[in-house]
Chain A
Amino acid sequence: MSPVLEWTALALAVPLLAGCQGPQSALDPASATARELARLWWVMSSVAGLVLLLVSVLWLYALFRAPRQYPQPQARRIQRRLLIGGGLLLPTLSVSALLFYGVNAARGMLPLGEAPLRLEITGHQWWWEVRYPQGDVVTANQLILPVGVPVDIEVSSADVIHAFWVPRLGGKLDMTPGRRHRVRLQADREGVFRGQCAEFCGTQHAHMILHVEALPPERFDVWLQARTQREAIAPAPGAAGELFASRCALCHRVAGVSDGRRGPDLTDLASRPTLGAGVIANDAAGLRRWLREHQRLKPGNGMPNHDDVDDTTLDALAAWLEGLAP
């Protein structure tokens, strides 16, 4: 290959590959399933591109070449060849090949048998409830997985239809009220992946983001251990405590303190990277801003405004919430 060609190929390929990357990109796979799906795309799009090129070029050539007269028998022959070859055989053969390939690829992705780790995710408007039955661990809007271990996730919904989807780990599955479906994920590398609800679920469908993190198995065990054998949490002190008990506790659970079920469980709140299912970063400023302005940051969310609460109490509440880590 001449150096010019080489450089051109490189110049084309680099931005193309860079353009595939992203925390939620289906073309930046981090599991065997997602890799298979990405390969499917590259194969199919190349073939489809060729077919499109072929048909378009034939069509434009027929349109712009000098018109010519065909004697009747020849016209009939051309007609038969094109209709049978292009109209019947081409689609039949390519579709059969594709179907064969696709059905086989799908079979490999099915959750057959039992995976060593099983957990449950329930969709809510507009947040994710994540349960690890082994340790009776509940968290929200974050999914922590061990690398290299198949994980079965039972998905369902508490209200409307949502869809569970972490593109870099695999395809999506609907979360339907009244039904439970199982999806299997197996991350093959450490990292942070982004999931997002993929079925339109109302006002804040855009802000239903799931932080997914794959840890090496030993670190995952530590993570789960910490939540299973956590120390008792002391209730918030003073005015903040009263505020929490009279309002927050009605909807939010903090293990050992309150038992609300309508909103996200807050037991390990401080360990989560974002607030409001991906709306803002969970740092000191972010937490205070969320408590004050959550209806402006995520209009329509289920938490009422608490404009009557003074800054001191809110700050004390925030300080207590910041301690909610295993």
Chain B
Amino acid sequence: MKRRSSHPDPARLHAQFERVWGSPSGWRALTVVNHTAIGRRFLITGAVFFLIGGLLAMLIRAQLAVPGYVLLEPDLYNQVFTMHGTVMMFLFAVPMMEGLAVYLIPKMLGARDLAFPRLSALGYWCYLFGGIILTASLVLEIAPKAGWFMYTPLSSAAHTPGMNSDFWLLGVTFVEISAVSAGVELVVSILRVRARGMALHQMPIYAWYILVMAGMIVVGFPPLILGSILLELERAAGLPFFDPGRGGDPLLWQHLFWLFGHPEVYIIFLPGAGIVSTLLPVFCGRPLVGYRWVVLSVLATGFISFGLWVHHMFTVGIPQLALAFFSAASMLVAIPTGVQVFAWLTTLWLGTPRYQVPMLWLVGFLIVFVAGGLTGVMLALVPFDWQVHDTHFVVAHMHYVLVGGMFFPLMAGLYYWLPHFSGRLPSERLGRWGFWLVFIGFNLTFLVMHWTGLLGMPRRVYTYDTGLGWDWPNLVSSIGSFVMAAGVATCLLDLLLHVRFGRPAGVNPWQADTLEWATDYPPASYNFLSLPDVNNRHPLWREPDLPQGIARGEHALVEIDHGRRDTWGVEALSGRVRDITQLPGNTWIPLIAALLLAGLCLSLLLKQYGLALGLSGVILLVLLHWSWRNGPLLSPGANLTVQANQPPLHWQTHDGPGLWGMAVTLVADGALYLSLLFGWFYLGIVTPVAGPTTVKVGAGWLLGSALLLTVGTLYLGGLLRRLRQGSEARLGIHLLLLTLLGLLQVTLLLGALQAAELQPRARALDAVVLVMLLYSLIHCALATILTALQAWRARLGYVSARQSYEPRVVAQLWLYNLGVLWISYLAIVLFPLGWGNGS
């Protein structure tokens, strides 16, 4: 659709856009929030951590090459294998896939940035600092050494004194802030920030995969975050959540860990499969077969993956019926995966395949991944798992799935999008050498390793005796791993060389169908000078000239003299435009917040709890300042009027991305709370505990607080209803009254904590109640503070009937707190009455 008959000079427009959107260099590069820059940083940092993780793998393979060889002392070896897993999972696989999505998603969806650019920046800095803290522990030789799964009691203060486990618990939690914030960011952006007219079913298939992955991160990471908090509380403060001697249970940790750990596998695999589903049609020159089938399988995979965490725990002695259930659920996941594999195969069958380097990696992916999937089905069979669980067979299986499902597609994707990053094409010859070395080296290493496991070699041993038949397979694996390393080095060389020597890519070098190829390569910070309308899945196949038209400013939202960063805000399902989403510009706040969080992490590590408390206060102030720079204060100095024929700015509506951002964040928060609730019921019902299972709490105080919170939430609801009807009389006063009510409610909650006769160091159930009450206390206090700020903003005129979007965001928190407090009341006060009194 052409909106303008006379275009202004595109070159001048580009210069103007660059002034508003541009990413500065020098010191101010640290303020950048632009998704292209952030995505690139994620990818480069992820690649560095991959090399570190790979180096650790080489150390492991060197040590195991021959029996009895001790290159690393046992303690250091245990640190090395723990960190290999930790780095590859938390610092490479997840951030790398998120980084690629952060870079690609807005471009594929025809938008100029993600919904919350400052959040992307915060996520990146938390990732970087957390990664540095974790790797620093390895340099200091005090790295975590209880395995990447941190099973307690091994990881507890009694059996691993020193800071090793703390580095993991605090460092990984810090990095997970990054993962969850990117998860929230991607969910909301995919649903709300797209090209005009792009309905959900017209999104590129990659966006579906990322939507599901991001949703899984939002729900899947909180159980581990909670587990880490509890274990750190046990180590630092002696709260016995996992100590069987005081009513705790080490199995609770395993449940929380695998509640995260299994979805994690699919969080890593789905974006990889998304790359396959994106590339394969391009190289076959035809649309993906069975788009709907694939979307449904991806959704199904997401759901099923939350129901099979127990298959990592088949050997812990769980009732037979439960085992059969989880065994069946684990095998069920083969069906959606089978659908995808055959959708790809059919695409290949019906298309005209071109055999280029990215395609080579896709073939490698298929063979390796299918092999890994097949051994996965075997492992889901309980009795077989009893035999090979925790042996090298599982090591082999897991690498087939993860390297096959993530690394091979990632390499295909890197080769595919390389021209997009740099404007140049890599060398075909080096690329082929790199692939074959990796492919051969990988299979040499891990195919043999199945056998090593069947011959009885357990995992995580720093050495082994000769005479067990393990000598030659280990040697072959070690040789293979070095061949693979040579392959990785070749690819790396190719990547470095192509920046200088690569052929220029030209426009749309692979004849792709998706919009990211309609930008410049490398892309301008605003992606598209003008935003095209999209109403089909293959915009560049339908209109090959689209890139030129976009660059000439022939499409929408080319106004820039207002100085704002604008992109379309659309309805989630239909893609109809409902507002202009105004995005924030570059700012120091994310970096400052991340630095302070890093300080908090370090002060907890060093057990400087006074300092930690002080820093938490400062962090709260910085984040409140962040929230203050919103709505009309989003970009100071910008002109906030829109043209008559255009929709309003997002904060002038009742519904903006922030509302969705809050909702998705609360989903993550809710997953955390539900995990805590799971812990309560698990310890109360499943764990064999001696002594009474009831806990003395200030039930009256708690009930009073919950009732008051109900009144407050209803009050706020009424306020919002009147705002919607246009009545804003004494809004500030009402919000102030609500703040006072909130204060009173928080005070009652404090009273409940006072009145409770808890012995949190002596009994695990008491410790859980303490955490539950503190959880509500912190949340209600936060809601009260935010309400006070709203009262202030209403007084200043930033919140009114016309701009009622912010109090709606706060109201979600009130409603959430209400639900949580009542559930806690029921769980703590009423439910144990039915548990009976005894062991």
A163 touches B390 (CB 8 A): yes
Is residue B154 within 8 Å, beta carbon to beta carbon, of the partner chain? yes
Taking CB atoms, residues of chain A closer than 8 Å to B370 are 51-52, 55-56
B366 touches A106 (CB 8 A): no
Q: Mark A78-101, 1 if CB is under 8 A from B, else 0.
A: 110011011110111001001100
Stretch at the interface among A199-207, A210-218, A241-249, A312-320: A199-207
Is residue B320 within 8 Å, beta carbon to beta carbon, of the partner chain? yes
Q: Known: A22-B468, A25-B456, A52-B367. Contact between A198 and B339, CB under 8 A? A: no
Taking CB atoms, residues of chain B closer than 8 Å to A67 are 351-353
B338 touches A161 (CB 8 A): no
B454 touches A106 (CB 8 A): no
Q: Mark A18-58, 1 if CB is under 8 A from B, else 0.
A: 01111111110000001011001100110010011001101
Taking CB atoms, residues of chain B closer than 8 Å to A58 are 345
B338 touches A90 (CB 8 A): yes
A79 touches B249 (CB 8 A): no
Tell me, rounded to whole Å, the shortest Cβ–Cβ distance linking B621 to chain A: 42
The distance in angstroms between the C-alpha atoms of A55 and B160, with both chains bound, is: 47
Is residue A304 within 8 Å, beta carbon to beta carbon, of the partner chain? no
Choose one: A22, A87, A203; the contact of B74 (CB below 8 Å).
A203
Q: Known: A103-B327, A179-B688. Contact between A55 and B341, CB under 8 A? A: yes
Q: Known: A87-B293, A200-B147. Contact between A178 and B244, CB under 8 A? A: yes
Q: Which of B332, B335, B387, B464 has the most CB of A within 10 A?
A: B387
Tell me, rounded to whole Å, the shortest Cβ–Cβ distance linking A63 to chain B: 5
A171 touches B377 (CB 8 A): no
Q: Known: A83-B290, A86-B338. Contact between A25 and B324, CB under 8 A? A: no
Tell me which residues from 448 to 478 in chain B have a Cβ below 8 Å from any Cβ of chain A: 451, 454-465, 467-470
Tell me, rounded to whole Å, the shortest Cβ–Cβ distance linking B374 to chain A: 4
A202 touches B320 (CB 8 A): no
Taking CB atoms, residues of chain B closer than 8 Å to A59 are 345, 348, 363, 366-367
Taking CB atoms, residues of chain B closer than 8 Å to A23 are 456, 467-468
Q: Mark A205-232, 1 if CB is under 8 A from B, else 0.
A: 1100000000000000000000000000
The distance in angstroms between the C-alpha atoms of A73 and B741, with both chains bound, is: 68
B335 touches A300 (CB 8 A): no
Q: Mark A275-314, 1 if CB is under 8 A from B, else 0.
A: 0001000000000000000000001100000000000000
Taking CB atoms, residues of chain A closer than 8 Å to B383 are 36-37, 40, 102, 105-106, 109, 171
The distance in angstroms between the C-alpha atoms of A36 and B339, with both chains bound, is: 32
The distance in angstroms between the C-alpha atoms of A249 and B389, with both chains bound, is: 38
Tell me, rounded to whole Å, the shortest Cβ–Cβ distance linking A81 to chain B: 9
The distance in angstroms between the C-alpha atoms of A34 and B385, with both chains bound, is: 12
Is residue A147 within 8 Å, beta carbon to beta carbon, of the partner chain? no
Q: Known: A60-B363, A82-B349, A159-B159. Contact between A196 and B74, CB under 8 A? A: no
Q: Known: A67-B351, A79-B346, A88-B335. Contact between A102 and B469, CB under 8 A? A: no
Is residue A235 within 8 Å, beta carbon to beta carbon, of the partner chain? no
Q: Which of B334, B370, B374 has the most CB of A within 10 A?
A: B374
B245 touches A87 (CB 8 A): no
Q: Known: A102-B381, A103-B324, A171-B315. Contact between A91 and B459, CB under 8 A? A: no
Tell me, rounded to whole Å, the shortest Cβ–Cβ distance linking B122 to chain A: 35
Choose one: B73, B343, B366; the contact of A55 (CB below 8 Å).
B366
Is residue A255 within 8 Å, beta carbon to beta carbon, of the partner chain? no
The distance in angstroms between the C-alpha atoms of A101 and B457, with both chains bound, is: 26
Choose one: B363, B367, B382, B451; the contact of A19 (CB below 8 Å).
B451
Tell me which residues from 325 to 376 in chain B have a Cβ below 8 Å from any Cβ of chain A: 327-328, 331-332, 334-335, 337-343, 345-346, 348-353, 355, 359, 363, 366-367, 370-371, 374-375
Tell me, rounded to whole Å, the shortest Cβ–Cβ distance linking A47 to chain B: 9
Is residue B671 within 8 Å, beta carbon to beta carbon, of the partner chain? no
B74 touches A52 (CB 8 A): no
Tell me, rounded to whole Å, the shortest Cβ–Cβ distance linking B455 to chain A: 5
Taking CB atoms, residues of chain B closer than 8 Å to A60 are 363
A82 touches B342 (CB 8 A): yes
The distance in angstroms between the C-alpha atoms of A181 and B318, with both chains bound, is: 10
Choose one: A52, A110, A203, A205; the contact of B374 (CB below 8 Å).
A52
Q: Known: A163-B315, A179-B317. Contact between A79 and B290, CB under 8 A? A: yes
B315 touches A56 (CB 8 A): no
A26 touches B456 (CB 8 A): yes
- When C-beta atoms are compared, the residue in chain B nearest to A196 turns out to be B458
- When C-beta atoms are compared, the residue in chain A nearest to B350 turns out to be A75
Taking CB atoms, residues of chain A closer than 8 Å to B835 are none
Choose one: B290, B342, B458; the contact of A198 (CB below 8 Å).
B458
The distance in angstroms between the C-alpha atoms of A178 and B151, with both chains bound, is: 15
Tell me which residues from 120 to 161 in chain B have a Cβ below 8 Å from any Cβ of chain A: 146-147, 151, 153-154, 159-160
Tell me, rounded to whole Å, the shortest Cβ–Cβ distance linking B600 to chain A: 30
B159 touches A203 (CB 8 A): no
Q: Known: A63-B363, A198-B389. Contact between A21 and B331, CB under 8 A? A: no
- When C-beta atoms are compared, the residue in chain A nearest to B386 turns out to be A171
A167 touches B342 (CB 8 A): no
A200 touches B151 (CB 8 A): yes
Tell me, rounded to whole Å, the shortest Cβ–Cβ distance linking B409 to chain A: 15
Q: Mark A248-269, 1 if CB is under 8 A from B, else 0.
A: 0000000000000000000000
Q: Which of A19, A86, A91, A163 has the most CB of B within 10 A?
A: A91
- When C-beta atoms are compared, the residue in chain A nearest to B286 turns out to be A75
The distance in angstroms between the C-alpha atoms of A54 and B375, with both chains bound, is: 16
B469 touches A21 (CB 8 A): yes
A19 touches B293 (CB 8 A): no
Taking CB atoms, residues of chain A closer than 8 Å to B159 are 125, 159-160, 202
The distance in angstroms between the C-alpha atoms of A173 and B339, with both chains bound, is: 35
- When C-beta atoms are compared, the residue in chain A nearest to B153 turns out to be A160
B289 touches A83 (CB 8 A): yes
Is residue A143 within 8 Å, beta carbon to beta carbon, of the partner chain? no
The distance in angstroms between the C-alpha atoms of A299 and B311, with both chains bound, is: 34
Choose one: A19, A92, A173, A196; the contact of B315 (CB below 8 Å).
A173
B343 touches A87 (CB 8 A): yes
Tell me, rounded to whole Å, the shortest Cβ–Cβ distance linking A68 to chain B: 9
Is residue B78 within 8 Å, beta carbon to beta carbon, of the partner chain? yes
Choose one: A125, A173, A178, A200; the contact of B245 (CB below 8 Å).
A178
Taking CB atoms, residues of chain B closer than 8 Å to A125 are 159
Is residue A176 within 8 Å, beta carbon to beta carbon, of the partner chain? yes
Q: Which of B335, B341, B386, B464 has the most CB of A within 10 A?
A: B386
Is residue A174 within 8 Å, beta carbon to beta carbon, of the partner chain? yes
B455 touches A92 (CB 8 A): no
Choose one: A19, A37, A174, A206; the contact of B317 (CB below 8 Å).
A174
Q: Which of A19, A102, A161 has the most CB of B within 10 A?
A: A102
Choose one: A44, A70, A79, A87; the contact of B338 (CB below 8 Å).
A87
Taking CB atoms, residues of chain A closer than 8 Å to B74 are 203-204, 206, 299-300
Is residue B593 within 8 Å, beta carbon to beta carbon, of the partner chain? no
Is residue B27 within 8 Å, beta carbon to beta carbon, of the partner chain? no
Q: Known: A52-B371, A82-B342. Contact between A200 and B154, CB under 8 A? A: yes
Taking CB atoms, residues of chain B closer than 8 Å to A34 are 387
Q: Known: A176-B251, A194-B468. Contact between A24 and B455, CB under 8 A? A: yes
B388 touches A26 (CB 8 A): yes
Is residue A5 within 8 Å, beta carbon to beta carbon, of the partner chain? no
Q: Which of A83, A87, A194, A204 has the most CB of B within 10 A?
A: A87
Choose one: B75, B346, B385; the contact of A203 (CB below 8 Å).
B75
- Pick the 3 closest A-B CB pairs, nearest first: A171-B386, A178-B244, A24-B456
A-B contact list, 13 entries, CB within 8 Å: A22-B468, A23-B467, A40-B383, A44-B377, A51-B374, A98-B331, A102-B383, A106-B383, A171-B385, A171-B389, A173-B315, A179-B244, A200-B460
| Beyond A48-B374, A167-B387, A200-B390, 7 extra complex contacts between A and B, CB < 8 Å | A20-B455, A62-B353, A194-B456, A194-B468, A200-B146, A206-B464, A299-B75
- Interface set of B (CB-CB < 8 Å, partner A): 73-75, 78, 146-147, 151, 153-154, 159-160, 244-245, 249-251, 289-290, 293, 297, 315-317, 320, 323-324, 327-328, 331-332, 334-335, 337-343, 345-346, 348-353, 355, 359, 363, 366-367, 370-371, 374-375, 377-378, 381-391, 451, 454-465, 467-470, 688
